[in-house]
Amino acid sequence: MADDLILDVQDVKKAYDGLEVLKGIGFGLRKGETKVLIGPSGSGKSTLLRCINHLTVPDAGRIYLNGDEVLDTNIDAMRARMGFVFQDFNLFSHLTVLDNVRICQIKVNGTEKAAATQRAHRELERVGLSDKADAYPAELSGGQQQRVSIARALAMDPDVLLFDEPTSALDPELTGEVVRVMQQLAAEGMTMVVVTHEMSFARQAADEIIFMEDGHIIEQGPPETMFTDSTHERTRAFLNVIAEHG
C-alpha cells in the first residue's frame, strides 16, 4: 500500500441475493485529489461509495483511510473522518441550519459548543449561507439545503468527502450553485470522490475520471484523455449519451 494514499480501496466485492454488484473494485486517492465516478444506472456507483464507509458492508476487499483499515469494529471513528453528501441532503428537519452543522461536531467529536458554533459559522460562510444560520431546512431551496449538508460535512474536518449525485435532485439553476461550491473545494485541495453526471464539473475539477460498468472499473484517466480519446467504446458511448441528455 502506498503510504501517501488518503483512501485506498482494494478489490471490493458486494453481492445482493447472488447478484454481483461490485466485482472487485480498487482505486486510490491521494491528498487533495478529486476523482469523479461515472457510469450507467445500476453499475454500482452508490454501492461502492456506501461500501467505503460501511453504510453497506462489503463481502470482500479492504479499505484504508490514511493507512487505517476501515472495519466494523472502528466504523464510528472512521465515519467521523469521512464526510458523506447524499442526493437528498439528509438534513435534520427539526433542527436549524446552525444546529445541523454543529450537532455532529458536539455529539460525535465532543467539540465544545462555543467552538462548534464558531466552526459552523465559518463553514456556512464558506458555502455562502451565513445569513441562513437560524432558518429551518424547509425554509431553504434545495440548493441551499445541499450547501448546508456540505457545510455539515466540512465542519467535521474530514479526511475525505464522498458525494453521491449531490445535484441530481436539483433544478439547473440550483445545480450551478452547488457545483460552484464543489469546484471551490476541489481547488482548495479537499480530497473528494464524486459520483455525478455534471460533466462540466468533471472536466474542470477532476484529477481523474473513473468509468464503472456492471460492477467493474472499465477505464480511468484524466479528463482530457477520457473526454477526447477514450480507448474504450463503452466509455465513449456513455459520454456521448451524457453529452446529449445531461
Ligand X SMILES: Nc1ncnc2c1ncn2[C@@H]1O[C@H](COP(=O)(O)OP(=O)(O)OP(=O)(O)O)[C@@H](O)[C@H]1O
Give one DSSP letter per residue of 11-55, joined into a string: EEEEEETTEEEEEEEEEEEETT-EEEEE--TTSSHHHHHHHHTTS
Instruction: State which of positions 156-185 bind ligand X (CB under 6 A).
Output: none
Nearer to ligand X, 35 or 45 (CB): 45
Nearer to Mg ion, 101 or 239 (CB): 239
Counting contacts by CB under 6 A, is residue 21 touching ligand X? yes
Strand partners for 164 = 195
Q: In the block, which residue shows the cell 448546508?
A: 148
Nearer to ligand X, 86 or 149 (CB): 86
Counting contacts by CB under 5 A, is residue 46 touching Mg ion? yes
Smallest separation, CB 178 to ligand X (Å): 17
Smallest separation, CB 37 to Mg ion (Å): 10
Extract the C-alpha cell encoding 37: 465516478
Residue span 161-190 as binding mask against Mg ion, x where in contact by CB under 5 A, dash where not: ------------------------------
Residue 151 CB coordination number (10 Å): 26
In this structure, the chain runs to a length of: 246
Smallest separation, CB 141 to ligand X (Å): 23
Question: Pick from 2, 41, 72, 233: which binds ligand X (CB under 6 A)?
Answer: 41
Residues binding ligand X: number (CB under 6 A): 10
Residue span 63-92 as binding mask against ligand X, x where in contact by CB under 6 A, dash where not: ------------------------------
Q: Quick check: 20 and 214 in contact, CB under 8 A? A: no
Smallest separation, CB 20 to ligand X (Å): 9
In degrees rounded to 5, what are phi and psi of residue 104?
Answer: -70, -35
d(CA 102, CA 112): 10
Smallest separation, CB 42 to ligand X (Å): 4
Q: At what angle do helices 113-126 and 142-155 cross, to 10 degrees?
A: 130
Give one DSSP letter per residue of 118-155, joined into a string: HHHHHHHHHTT-GGGTT--GGGS-HHHHHHHHHHHHHH
Binding site for Mg ion (CB under 5 A): 45-46
Q: What residues line the site for ligand X (CB under 6 A)?
A: 16, 21, 39, 41-47
